[in-house]
Amino acid sequence: MIPPVEHILNIRNVSKIYENAGHKLTVLDQINFSIQRGTTVAITGPSGSGKTTLLGLCAGLDRSSSGTVSLNQVDLDELTEDERAAVRNRYVGFIFQNFQLLPTLTALENVMVPLELRGEKNIKKHALDLLDKVGLADRSGHYPVQLSGGEQQRVSLARAFSNQPAILFADEPTGNLDAETSDKVIKLLFDLNKEAGTTLVIVTHDLDLAAKTNRMIKLKGGVVVADLDLNHG
Amino acid sequence: MKMAWRDSRKNRSRLLLFMSSIILGIAALVAVYSFKANLQRDIDEQAKTLTGADLIVDSRRPLSPAVKALLDTLGSKRARERNFVSMVYFMKGEGSRLVEIKALNGDFPFYGSIETKPISAAKTFKTDRKALVDHTLMLQYQAKLGDSIKIGNLSFVIEGSLESVPGQTGLASTVTPVVYIPLEYLEKTGLTQLGSRIQTRYFYKYQDVASVNRDLKRHQQLLDKEQLRTETVATKKESTGRAFKNLNQFLALSGFIALLLGCIGVGTSIQVYIKEKLGTIATLRCLGLKAREAFLIYLLQVAVIGLLGAAAGAFLGTALQFLLPLILKDFIPVELSMGVSWAAIGQGLATGLIISVLFALPSLISVRNISPLNAIRASFEGAKPKRDPLKWLVYLLIIGFIYGFTYLQMKDAIQAFAFVAGILLAFLLLVGQSQLLMLVLRKMIPERMAYVWRQGFANLYRPNNQTMVLSLAIGLSTLFIVTLYLVQGVLLNKVEVSGSGSKSNMVLFDIQPVQKEPLVKLLKTNHLPVLGQVPIVTMRIIEIKGKTAAQYGDTAGKDKEKSMLRAFRGEVRATYQQNLRATEKIMEGKWIGTTPEAGTVFISLEQNYAAGINVGIGDSIVFDVQGMPVKTKVGSLRSVDWNTVQPNFRVVFPAGVLEEAPQFHVFMTHVAAAEQSAELQAKVLKQFPNVSIVNLDMILKTIGSLLDKVNFVIRFMAGFSMATGWIVLLSAVMSSKGQRLKESVLLRTMGASRKQILTITGLEYLFLGFIATAAGIILAVLGSWALAVFALKSVYAPEILPLLVFLVVIPLLVMLTGLYSSRSVLNHPPLEILRKES
């Protein structure tokens, strides 16, 4: 059945099984859900429940052992790694717990990378605008090692939005930040998301952060144990 | 110690890389040292078979009755050999070849043996008109036992093939193969006539060494007066050892260069290792570890791994030394035995340990400055190294060590200084080149350039780049390998330039005056040009500046006068001519082409020869020309181009003096093809058995095969440097692999395609490889140019094509190594690597 247009992500019977020395470990088991375009979703669960694995499958960073993952109507399981990379570049943005900035690039260059990979030209102004939005216009020439954790995550936010993604995946975006900085980063994330109309999928332990989204999918032992609508109206 | 062991657990692969950097260098050194030790032992043990006798007396001129009488009384057993160069003619195959004829009587060698096939031939050939012929010569002319050869007017039956002669190397027998005949038949060959350069060697056996020394002491004065050269087992041992000094020096320095390259690997691996350990060290410092203790933990790790690397190298080197004798056997006159040299292993272990610690020290001493604050924040500013005066001390120690080691090999302070200065200069130039490259790239990359190109180039100057280290590893390896290649080219070129063109390529010598006319006729009927006829008169110097050898001998305290004594020794081969030849140029004085009757004879001397015997313009020299004294004055000094195929002379007389003296002639001609050459040789030898022929093509071939053997040795040693250079390259690439991998995975996550990742990585390494290789080649060209022009006094014209091949192949190898290290990014899903990285 063709998924409804408003669903940007469709997960059908997805399982992920790791095999090690003949021993099978099922990390995700028969997961099913869809995410509407423009909504915000939190995936929560205890450590080892399969949250990051699920995020990786949703974003096309890994292949499922069975089932289908469809992103923006593109069936990711059918694609080669290069084709999935092209999908990511076109539709997906990422924010990581440990920021994952390229250490050899300046803040500005980090923000420009997704667009440069697309071969777009004259993107410096756009990247500087984004840095300005996250309050780091004056640090554009700094390397990651010269920035604090909060600043690095703000650069990471600017980078995530730089290619105007259809969907943004954030993996524990405040996991490495103190409470005050976390609040600032989360506010920025939601503001930018609202402005861009992007679908946001956050993997987090933090229930307060999860509560800020429209929907919460709870995982435990690799299966969905709850799928809550948190629509705040 | 426990902490050092525990701490190394997770990063042993990094330490293994460091270890592998020195293995080959140490292996090369241990192999060379073992070879040297074994060779010295073999020379000591086989010294008597090198000479074959306890005492040898050499003479190149007729002996006085007093000396003759003396020589007949020395030793308990005697033998005599007369040797000279002449043609041998293979009667069945109709081939001829210039060989060294050794006419022997007595039971020489008294020690060791002349090895023949069949074994009995070494003794039986002396019983009749029989000969022993060099085995390669027999193969070359397809001669068999029982065939006949002709030497001069006499034919001999081949009694055996000569496998080896005491004290002669395989190489020497390739240049002039030996033919033994019984001494009693020498006169009848007709080759002992005037003009033939015959050396007579008297061999003596003694009961003990003391008797040899006693006899030498007693008769030294007489032997010196008659200018006879003596050789004993002890002097032979010394001279053989000295002959191999250069070879051993070359081998040891080649090994050392490989080791120095490895040191760059050591420095790089430890630098990255310590960087990775920054957090651990800071945490330990928080827990109360003192700076000195932190330093000791890592010093201990480096020392242990260095020692393990050295041990592996020593093991490999000990195994490799079994290869060296196979490669060098043609150069060595003794039978090589192989064995484990514990001294060589000890030296290797000590060198490995010192080098590991020394080259790791610049990184190790920075451990003392790591602040505990780094545990809290990795980017803590204090982590940046301050100027540490200890580092300069370490650098000085490193330079001191390189100098000390080089000096130990060369035993010459200036040569060692030049070697170290050369390496240091190359090092500094390559560092400068890499800094300049980074600066230029940073300023010059246009923003409009395609992203992957920009990213690839930018990786070369961005933080944590490996540009300098890779430039050094690639540049120095290239420099060493290309220099060896170019110098070898210069040597070959030097030989080939002399033989090119339609100039003479065949020289006929020992032509008697009566043979001149018929020989010219023979050449003409064979349509061969006579490109030159040169008369040669043999003579001896009997007086210089009014003093005889004996008078100089009395004042022989001074070096200058001593050097003049040399002039009286041996024979002078002079020519006479009216005009100078194209290869001669007057440098001082004036050339006077004819001497009026009863006028002063103004001769011309080659300038270096004149300097060697300490005479100048206007000095008088009296020659003994076959018993007739001829008074002369030095009228001019000439420079002579010796690199030409024609006889050149140190002493030239004007016309009008020597025309009536006993003389022989040399003809030069040009033959186009090998068949023509063989045909002429056969005809000349049949008609004029005393005339010898040198074929330049054959000489070139012989030199070529000689150089091939030398090349192989050079390449074998350069191989260590090449392999180490590659390991250092691999180690540098692997050192930055973690960072490159992380970057590539992130780019992959953000949508970079396989092609984009490959292009970025490939461009980075290809460009760096290209620039460093080009720098290495430029330095090698400059170095080999200097060597060719100043040391070898040769024309320098390097071939461009092989340099281009280097310029393409080395960067490609660098690129493939870089791409190989990135393959895991392409073969695994990004999430898998991201998880590992985090």
Same domain, residue pair B745 and B803? yes
Same domain, residue pair B422 and B407? no
Same domain, residue pair B662 and B636? yes
The per-residue pLDDT for range A123-156, each reduced to its tens digit, is 889 999 999 988 899 999 998 888 888 899 899 9
Pick the residue of A91, A117, A148 with the most B CBs within 10 A to test the interface with B by mutation: A117
pLDDT at B374 over 90: no
pLDDT at A3 over 50: no
Q: Alpha helix (H) ranges present in chain A?
A: 51-58, 81-91, 107-117, 124-133, 149-162, 179-196, 207-210
Q: What is the mean pLDDT of chain B?
A: 81
Pick the residue of A47, A63, A82 with the most B CBs within 10 A to test the interface with B by mutation: A82
Domain assignment of residue B685, yes or no: no
Q: Does A61 contact B834 at a Cβ distance shorter than 8 Å?
A: yes
Instruction: Select from B180, B210, B239 the last residue of a domain.
Output: B239
Q: Does A117 contact B752 at a Cβ distance shorter than 8 Å?
A: yes
Q: Does A103 contact B749 at a Cβ distance shorter than 8 Å?
A: no
The alpha-carbon gap from A20 to the nearest alpha carbon of chain B, in Å, equals 14
Is residue A102 less than 8 Å (CB to CB) from chain B? yes
Tell me the chain A residues in contact with residue B760 when contact means C-beta distances shorter than 8 Å.
Answer: none
Average pLDDT over residues B116-129: 88
Q: Does A143 contact B754 at a Cβ distance shorter than 8 Å?
A: no
The per-residue pLDDT for range B297-324, each reduced to its tens digit, is 888 888 888 899 899 999 988 888 777 7
pLDDT at B240 over 80: no
Domain assignment of residue B505, yes or no: no
User: CB-based contacts of B455: which residues, under 8 Å, 6+ apart?
Assistant: A116, B760
Same domain, residue pair B716 and B773? yes
Average pLDDT over residues B610-630: 88
Same domain, residue pair B108 and B220? yes
The alpha-carbon gap from B753 to the nearest alpha carbon of chain A, in Å, equals 5
Q: What's the confidence (pLDDT) of residue A31?
A: 93
Element (H, E) at B65: helix B65-71
Instruction: Select from B239, B264, B291 the last residue of a domain.
Output: B239
Query: Taking Cα atoms as reference points, which of B554, B583, B574, B564 lies closest to residue B632?
Result: B574
Distances from the Cα of A199 to the Cα of A31, A68, A195, B776, angstroms: 20, 20, 11, 55
- Fold of the domain built from segment(s) A7-229: Rossmann fold (3.40.50)
Distances from the Cα of B734 to the Cα of A95, B400, B726, B772, B821, angstroms: 28, 30, 12, 18, 7
Higher pLDDT, residue B574 or B557:
B574
Q: Does A88 contact B743 at a Cβ distance shorter than 8 Å?
A: no
* Chain A residue with Cα closest to B755: A82
Higher pLDDT, residue B35 or A8:
A8
The per-residue pLDDT for range B803-829, each reduced to its tens digit, is 999 999 999 998 998 888 777 767 666
Same domain, residue pair B80 and B221? yes
Q: How far apart (Å, rounded) are the C-alpha atoms in residues B176 and B187?
A: 22
Average pLDDT over residues B378-397: 68
Domain assignment of residue B684, yes or no: no
For chain B, what percent of residues have pLDDT higher than 90? 12
Min mean pLDDT across A74-88, A166-180, B381-395 is at B381-395
Q: Alpha helix (H) ranges present in A15-170?
A: 51-58, 81-91, 107-117, 124-133, 149-162
Residue ranges of A 192-231 with Cβ closer than 8 A to chain B: none
For chain B, how many structural domains are there in total? Answer: 4
pLDDT at B795 over 60: yes
Pick the residue of B740, B750, B753, B824 with the most A CBs within 10 A to test the interface with A by mutation: B750
Tell me the chain A residues in contact with residue B448 when contact means C-beta distances shorter than 8 Å.
Answer: 121
Q: What is the mean pLDDT of chain A?
A: 87
**Can you count the helices (H) and strands (E) in chain B?**
28, 20
Beta-carbon-side half-sphere exposure of residue B319 (alpha carbons within 13 Å):
7
The per-residue pLDDT for range B403-446, each reduced to its tens digit, is 998 888 777 888 888 888 888 898 899 999 889 988 888 888 77
Domain assignment of residue B429, yes or no: yes
* Chain A residue with Cα closest to B744: A102
Q: How far apart (Å, rounded) are the C-alpha atoms in residues B165 and B170?
A: 9
Is residue A19 less than 8 Å (CB to CB) from chain B? no
Written as six digits, the tokens of B395 are 């650098």
The per-residue pLDDT for range A179-226, each reduced to its tens digit, is 888 888 888 889 888 888 899 999 998 888 899 999 999 999 999 999
Domain positions in chain A are 7-229
Size of interface A-B (CB pairs under 8 A): 89
Domain assignment of residue B507, yes or no: no
Flag whether the ipTM exceeds 0.95.
Answer: no
Q: Does B751 contact A85 at a Cβ distance shorter than 8 Å?
A: yes
Q: What's the confidence (pLDDT) of residue B272?
A: 75
Instruction: Select from B379, B411, B443 the last residue of a domain.
Output: B411
Higher pLDDT, residue B320 or A168:
A168
pLDDT at B488 over 80: no
Domain assignment of residue B522, yes or no: no
Domain assignment of residue B24, yes or no: yes
- Smallest Cβ–Cβ distance between A85 and the set B455, B459, B752 belongs to B752
Element (H, E) at B395: helix B389-410
Domain assignment of residue B682, yes or no: no
Domain containing B769: what range?
A: 413-499+696-838
Same domain, residue pair B341 and B421? no
pLDDT at B386 over 60: no
Higher pLDDT, residue B251 or B425:
B425
Higher pLDDT, residue B397 or A175:
B397
The per-residue pLDDT for range A80-110, each reduced to its tens digit, is 888 888 888 889 888 888 888 887 788 998 8
* Chain B residue with Cα closest to A101: B746
B109 cis-preceded (ω within 30 degrees of 0): yes
How sure is the predictor about B131, in pLDDT bands with cuts at 50, 70 and 90? very high
